[in-house]
Structure formats: C-alpha cells, structure tokens
Amino acid sequence: MKDLNLINQLTYYFTHNGLYVLQQFNRTFLMAIYGVLLGAIVGIPIGIWISQHRKLSPAVIGIANVIQTVPSLAMLSILMLGLGLGENTVIVTVFLYSLLPIIKNTYTGMLSVNPHVLDAGKGMGMTRWQVLTTIRIPLSLAVMIAGIRNALVVGIGITVIGSFIGAGGLGDIIIRGTNATNGGAIILAGALPTALMAIITDLVLSFVEKRLTPKTSSAR
Amino acid sequence: MLLEMSHLRKEYPNGKMAVDDFNLEVGRGEFICFIGTSGSGKTTTMRMINRMLHQTSGTIKINGHDIAKMDPVKLRRSIGYVIQNIGLMPHMTIQENIELVPKLLGWSKEKRAQQAHKMIALAQLPDEMLERYPGELSGGQQQRIGVVRALAADQEIILMDEPFGALDPITRESLQDLVKHLQEDLGKTFIFVTHDMDEALSLATRVVIMSQGKQVQVDTPENILRHPANEFVTNLIGEERLIRAQPNILTVSQIMKRHPATIQPEQTLADAIDTMHERRVDTLLVTDQDQKLVGYLDIDDVSRKTDVQTPVKQLMNHEVSYVQAKALIGDSVQRLLKLGVKNIPVVNQEKQLVGIVTRTSLVDIVYDALRGAPATDEQPASPINVDIHAAANHEGSADA
C-alpha cells in the first residue's frame, strides 16, 4: 500500500469498499433530505404566514437567525443531550438550520410579487386564497426553491459532522481517515463523495428552480 | 340609476379626510371622469365602488342594491377593473389573463375560449397573441388586453385608475379611442380616474373635478370649459386650454367693441360726414330712436351725392347683416368671414345695437386658438385673456 500514490490508494479504496461508500453516501443524503424536507414543510407556511402578517416577520426571522449562529457541532451536542445519539438528532439539526433560508426566501419571494398584480387580482374578484395560490405562490416559487437549495447544501455539511454523534454516513469514512496514519486517501474517499453530493444537489435544484420559474415568454 | 353614491366620506385613522361628502348619480352608458390633483381623493372614491376600500360613512348603490351588503368578491367580479400598471398576470398567457374572471365565475372552457377570441378582436389585436405572455407585448398592447380583460365577463361598470398614464401620447390616443368605442357602441359605463385634463375633456360625458376630497364641479366638459366654477377649476383646466376652447365658449358680446359710430335716419348727410370725420370711420350704423339697427351708411354712398342736406334715410342701405350678442364666436366666425365685410354690427334680442365686431378682433381669436396662449412673460396679459377670466368669473356673462 505504501508504494501506491494517493490516486492509486483512492481507487484501491473505492474498488474494495465501493458498496460501503455507496451505502454511506445514501445515508448522508437521506438524512440531509429528511431534515430539509421537514424544514420546508414547516418553513414555507411560516414564510407565507409572516408575509401576510408582516409585523411578526422581524421576530420570526430573528429567531431563525439565532439558530443559524449556533455552531453546528455545538448544536448537535446540545440536541444530543435530549435526543440521544443517532441519525434523528442529525435530522433535527438539519431541520433547524434549514429554517432560516427557507423562511427568509419564502418571505422575500412573497413580498417580491408585484403589488399591482396583486391589486388587479383582488380587484377582479379573487378570494385571498385564490390570490395566494394562483398569483403569490407561483410567482415566488423560484425564490422559495433557491432557499431550499441553500438549506440542502448547508444540510449536507451538517450531516457529515453528524458522524461525531454516531449518525454514520460519509463522515464516518472521513473520521476514520483522520484517525489513521497517512489516511489522506481515506479522508478523500469520504470527502470527495460529500463534495460531489453537494455540487450535484445544487445543480439539480438550480435546474428545478429554473423550471419552476413561471413562464413569461412563449419562446421556450 | 345604475350607480348612486351618496354622502360618501372616507376618513383615515390619522384624521386625514380623503373623501368628504361625495355625491354622484351615474346613469347607464355614461363616461364619468374623476379629475384632480394628487391627493384629491379621486382614486379613493373609485376604489370604494368595488370595495377595495371601505367608506367611513355614506352609501353606494348599484342598481338600487347597497354594495355594503353584497359579498365583496362577487361584487368585484361584476365590475371591470383596470389599473395604471396594467396588472396583467406575468405568468399567464394573454388568453388565461382574459379568461381570468370568466374562470372565477365558473364558465365552461369552450365559452371562455370563445370569449377570449371575441375580446382579442375587440382589442384589435391578432388572434395569435392569445398564446403569448404579457412580457412579450408592448405597453400599449398590454393595456389593450387590460381593458378588454375588464369586459370579458360582460361587466357593466368598468373602473379605470389612470389606465393610460404611463403610455406615450400616440398609444394613449389609440387606447382612448378604444374605450370611447366601448362606451358608445357597447353601452358600457366607465368610471375613469385621470389627471390628464385633455383626456377627461375628450372622453367624458361628465367630468367630476375634485380637490382635497371634495367635489368642486360636476358637469359636462363643455359646461366646465364655459363656466369653470372657481379659480381652482380655471387653473386646473389651464389658460392655454381655455383659450383654445375660446371659439366655443366666448360669445360675440365678449369680443365686440362697444359704442360704435351711429347716426339717426332723420339726420342729414352733413351730420353723417361730420361724425365720420370725428370718429375716423368710413361706415356709420343707422339706428332709430329705440336704438334698433335699421341700416348702414357707407362713405361710397355719401360721395356720390352732392346735396349735404339729404336725410340719411334716403341714402342708407337697409340690407344690413348682423350677429346676435349671445351667439358663440365659433358659430358666427365662419359666417362673418364669408360675408367679406370689414366689420359687423352686434345686436341684442330686441335688435338694439350693442356693439361691433371688427375683423381684427376675429384675427386675435383665431391667432390665439391656433398659436396657443401668449408667452407668460408678455405682460400685461392681452385683453383677450382678461375677457377669458371675465368669462370664467361671471356665470351667464353672455348678456350684453
């Protein structure tokens, strides 16, 4: 093994532990997705709600901001005290961190809808609910997705750190690498898929974001 | 009455009075323009009609039904609504935009599509445009869609809030033609808010002039030009516009010269020549004891006779054309010029002579009408302008 260079060591690792890496990849990805999905389920309605009650927005966004300022390792440890070791704690942490980008983007998206369009909709006889579902949400969907995209990239990072509290995933491989002598290849074996995951999800969601941007031109 | 607004008042919590005791009855097919400076309450009043705003007190009735007792959503679906910033949904095609209210009302898909085709034709735009998105249309085309969208569900009343304010003058004019056509040919009733006086005067059947929440004057465009209620209205209309409208609002009595040179039929030719010399004129108007115009005496008629003792009545021309003092200049000017006379006497209803109109005073009127108001630094104001203000300040000033 010592005779091999870094690249060769890496390929060696992948060929021998390919399935294991894939399993961990899957695990990390699912934890991040679950956390963000929960964040979206809670955050989007909150964002819509505070856009209708704007007096509440500084308080709500303030709280989400405070959550964001807690270092992720500290947050994991604090939650661990209550929720114990394991993936659930990581999912809750990802959920908490995804709240701010999702709430904030939903809120901004809702407010960025041209008020004249809303006025016209109301003036033509749309109910509040119709204005929300046929004008406000479609016109702010892209901004909301951008928030989810942010949350997911942050969430993947947190999930990897989550290995410290026994959640498993690609973080396990990285930690193993840092503990081994000359473990550079093992670190890379964990870090590269993580980076790849972040990049790919970002690309996929940016594509989704573009698709969801309401068509305003027939030339496409 | 289609729409009745009585004692409308809108007061904001901070004590600002936006609309104060607004009363108006609007008949079917009328085109009402609300005009005033910003903050005059015109938009506020309009927005109360479809309950986008709620009045502090007062009632609005449509076809006799108090709108405060109606479901606001249903009410709004029955009233067309066009705003300045167009308000087309950017993420919907033109067809979807036009079909918006019919869809809310639950029309069938076929009926909606049919209506969309009808409406795009009404807007004088090609059918293919239905597939396009608002962002691909010019501002004028978008507002055409905005206008017909407001009619798509056969709304009877259409509210328009400065709909053409952001358009260039040529586009604006073609859109004004469109709404005028909708009102005249389809019998739609328009409540139109504008700050453009030309727009209000050319479109409206009645203009409501507002200032600080109060109605200053409610009248037809002609009457407003003829008798502005006060100085505010005069200023709002603008001097230039009043001058351009002069031939249609000024009466002959306002431009005539008073005390023309006259002579009695019984007086002699010698007296006539003396008077002509004294007043430096070549024509004398002949009036009887009651000041009634009976003829005229020209210098040509005088020179042919040598006997200076001849009475005027033997020489004078009985065929004399005249104009009524109350007649509008616009109506008389054509006739005056065609007669080819240098001047023409003005009489009142009893045919008594009250003055004379010379061709030069007509030239002034025509000049002002064509070239606009004299530059403001030209002080003092021309006598014509003084007349205008006199006309503006005295109601029924047409009396000689």
Lowest mean pLDDT, pick from B45-59, B65-79, B121-135, B235-249: B235-249
Contact A120 B81 (CB under 8 A): yes
Q: Residue B73 and residue B65: Cα distance in Å, rounded? A: 15
Contact A126 B104 (CB under 8 A): yes
- The 10s digit of each residue's pLDDT in B292-322 is 888 888 877 776 656 777 788 777 888 777 8
Q: B241 pLDDT exceeds 90? A: no
The pLDDT value recorded for residue B387 is 44
Q: What is the CATH number of the domain that holds A146?
A: 1.10.3720.10
Q: B390 pLDDT exceeds 60? A: no
> Percentage of chain A surpassing pLDDT 90?
32
Instruction: Count up the domains in chain A and report the number.
Output: 1
B17-26 and B3-11 strand pairing: antiparallel
Nearest Cα to Cα of residue A115 among A131, A93, A97: A131
More confident residue, B250 or B83: B83
> From the list B77, B133, B136, which residue is nearest A125 (CB)?
B77
What residue of A is the nearest CA neighbor of B104?
A: A126
Ranges of chain A whose pLDDT falls below 70:
1-3, 217-220
- The answer to whether B101 faces chain A, any CB pair under 8 Å, is yes
What residue of B is the nearest CA neighbor of A118?
A: B87
Contact A216 B91 (CB under 8 A): yes
The amino acid at B308: V
- DSSP character for B165? T
Confidence of residue B370 (pLDDT cuts 50, 70, 90): low
Residue A152 tokens, joined: 């997911």
Which residues of A lie closer than 8 Å to B, measured between beta carbons?
Answer: 114, 116-117, 119-127, 130, 134-135, 138-139, 214-219
Neighbouring-strand partners of residue B284: B297
- The answer to whether B52 faces chain A, any CB pair under 8 Å, is yes
- The answer to whether B187 faces chain A, any CB pair under 8 Å, is no
> Percentage of chain B surpassing pLDDT 70?
88
Q: B225 pLDDT exceeds 70? A: yes
Q: B140 pLDDT exceeds 90? A: no
Nearest Cα to Cα of residue B255 among B371, B337, B342, B363: B363
CATH superfamily of B3-239: P-loop containing nucleotide triphosphate hydrolases (3.40.50.300)
Q: Residue A177 and residue A183: Cα distance in Å, rounded? A: 4
> From the list A126, A127, A214, which residue is nearest B91 (CB)?
A214
The pLDDT value recorded for residue B394 is 44
Confidence of residue B41 (pLDDT cuts 50, 70, 90): confident
Residue B347 tokens, joined: 């009489």
> From the list A119, A124, A217, which residue is nearest B133 (CB)?
A217
Give the DSSP letter string of B249-287: H-BHHHHPEES--EE-TTSBHHHHHHHHHHHT-SEEEEE
Measured in degrees and rounded to the nearest 5, phi and psi for residue B339 equal -65, -25
Nearest Cα to Cα of residue B388 among B377, B375, B397, B400: B397
Contact B93 A218 (CB under 8 A): yes
Contact B76 A114 (CB under 8 A): no
Tell whether A2 is covered by a domain: no
Residue A10 tokens, joined: 């890496």
CATH superfamily of B240-400: CBS-domain (3.10.580.10)
Q: Are B252 and B337 in contact (CB under 8 A)?
A: no
Lowest mean pLDDT, pick from A168-182, B202-216, B353-367: B353-367
Domain with CATH 3.40.50.300 in chain B: 3-239
- The 10s digit of each residue's pLDDT in B331-350 is 676 667 677 777 788 888 88
Angle at B85 between CA B49 and CA B147, to 5 degrees: 65
Three-state DSSP class for residue B139: helix
What residue of B is the nearest CA neighbor of A119?
A: B87
Q: B363 pLDDT exceeds 80? A: no
The pLDDT value recorded for residue A33 is 92
C-alpha distance across the termini of chain A, in Å: 54
Q: Residue B217 and residue B206: Cα distance in Å, rounded? A: 10
Domain with CATH 3.10.580.10 in chain B: 240-400
Lowest mean pLDDT, pick from A192-196, B23-27, B152-156, B164-168: B164-168
Q: B399 pLDDT exceeds 60? A: no
The pLDDT value recorded for residue B379 is 39
Q: B389 pLDDT exceeds 70? A: no
Q: By residue range, what is the domain housing residue A84?
A: 8-210
The amino acid at A72: S
B170-174 long-range contacts (CB < 8 A, ≥24 apart) are: B171/B138, B171/B139, B171/B140, B171/B143, B172/B199, B174/B140
Q: Residue B261 and residue B263: Cα distance in Å, rounded? A: 7
More confident residue, A1 or B391: A1
The pLDDT value recorded for residue A52 is 87
Q: B386 pLDDT exceeds 70? A: no
Contact B101 A139 (CB under 8 A): no
Sign of CA dihedral B77, B79, B80, B83: negative
What residue of A is the nearest CA neighbor of B100?
A: A124
The pLDDT value recorded for residue B385 is 43
Angle at A190 between CA A187 and CA A195, to 5 degrees: 110
CA distance A202 to chain B (A): 25
What residue of A is the nearest CA neighbor of B75?
A: A125
With beta carbons under 8 A apart, name residues in chain B contacting A215.
Answer: 91, 133
- DSSP character for B381? P
The pLDDT value recorded for residue A130 is 92
Size of interface A-B (CB pairs under 8 A): 74
The pLDDT value recorded for residue B230 is 87
Q: B377 pLDDT exceeds 60? A: no
Residues 115-144 of chain B whose Cβ lies under 8 A from any Cβ of chain A: 131-136
Lowest mean pLDDT, pick from A95-99, B27-31, B286-290, B297-301: B297-301
Neighbouring-strand partners of residue B61: B4, B66
Tell whether A74 is covered by a domain: yes
CA distance B253 to chain A (A): 51
Q: Residue B316 and residue B288: Cα distance in Å, rounded? A: 13
* CA A180 from centroid of its chain's CA atoms: 31
Contact B81 A123 (CB under 8 A): yes
Q: Three-state SS string across chain A, please? A: CCCCCHHHHHHHHHHHHHHHHHHHHHHHHHHHHHHHHHHHHHHHHHHHHHHHCHHHHHHHHHHHHHHHHCCHHHHHHHHHHHHCCCHHHHHHHHHHHHHHHHHHHHHHHHHHCCHHHHHHHHHCCCCHHHHHHHHHHHHHHHHHHHHHHHHHHHHHHHHHHHHHHCCCCHHHHHHHHHHCCCCHHHHHHHHHHHHHHHHHHHHHHHHHHHHHCCCCCCCC
- The answer to whether B86 faces chain A, any CB pair under 8 Å, is yes
The pLDDT value recorded for residue B257 is 82
CA distance A143 to chain B (A): 15
The pLDDT value recorded for residue B388 is 45
The pLDDT value recorded for residue B382 is 42
Contact B132 A218 (CB under 8 A): yes
The pLDDT value recorded for residue B400 is 35
Interface test with A, best of B103, B104, B107 (most A CBs within 10 A): B104
- The 10s digit of each residue's pLDDT in B1-18 is 888 898 888 888 888 888
